[in-house]
Amino acid sequence: RRGEMAKATQLINNEVFRAFATYAAIVLLKMMLMSLITAYFRLTRKAFVNPEDTASFGKGESAKKYLRTDPDVERARRGHLNDLENIVPFVGIGLLYALSGPELSSALLHFRIFTGARIFHTFAYLIPLPQPGRGLSWAVGYAVTFSMAYNVLKAAWLL
């Protein structure tokens, strides 16, 4: 039983795939962390969007005043959306890239630079750091994903 599974799941024995799995899990967990940061700001700044979320603060007008936007909540939400726009293509294209047979050293270089750039991007967005800190970290992640897409298309091209 176990041997049969190992055969079907041999991908996990491939070093490039293991590296991809590691970094993809890390950046997806980082993206999920944005939900907790948004929730933290919503609770501490008392800024909600759904009426049912403010019911514990009392009824009527006393609760209604917490249905508002807050700059810190909106900033965390923008960081989360930026993650979706950039980490999703990384995971999709990165998987195809990992399966296209790159050298382990090239693959690790792509995965490490992207992961570092996105972690820096989150700090740059939340602190916030002066520009062009956030812009550059965004561009680095973007360029890495573009480079992987180029390698995928070179290896797989079948239109």
Q: Which of 44, 46, 57, 85 binds a copy of itself (CB under 8 A)?
A: 85
Site for a copy of itself, residues 57 to 76, rule: CB under 8 A: 75
In degrees, rounded to 5, the angle at the alpha carbon of residue 146 between the alpha carbons of residues 32 and 128 is 45
* Nearest-angstrom CA–CA distance, 150 and 72: 37
Q: Does position 86 bind a copy of itself by CB under 8 A?
A: yes
Looking at the DSSP bridge assignments, the partners of residue 67 are 48
60/131 with CB nearer a copy of itself: 131
Burial of 131 (0-12, 13-18, 19+ CB in 10 A): exposed
80, 96, 79, 83: which is closest to 147 by C-alpha? 96
The site for a copy of itself (CB under 8 A) is made up of: 5-6, 8-19, 21-22, 24-26, 28-29, 31-32, 34-35, 49-50, 52-53, 55-56, 75, 78, 80, 84-86, 88-89, 91-93, 95-96, 99-101, 128-131, 134, 142, 145-146, 149, 152-153, 155-159
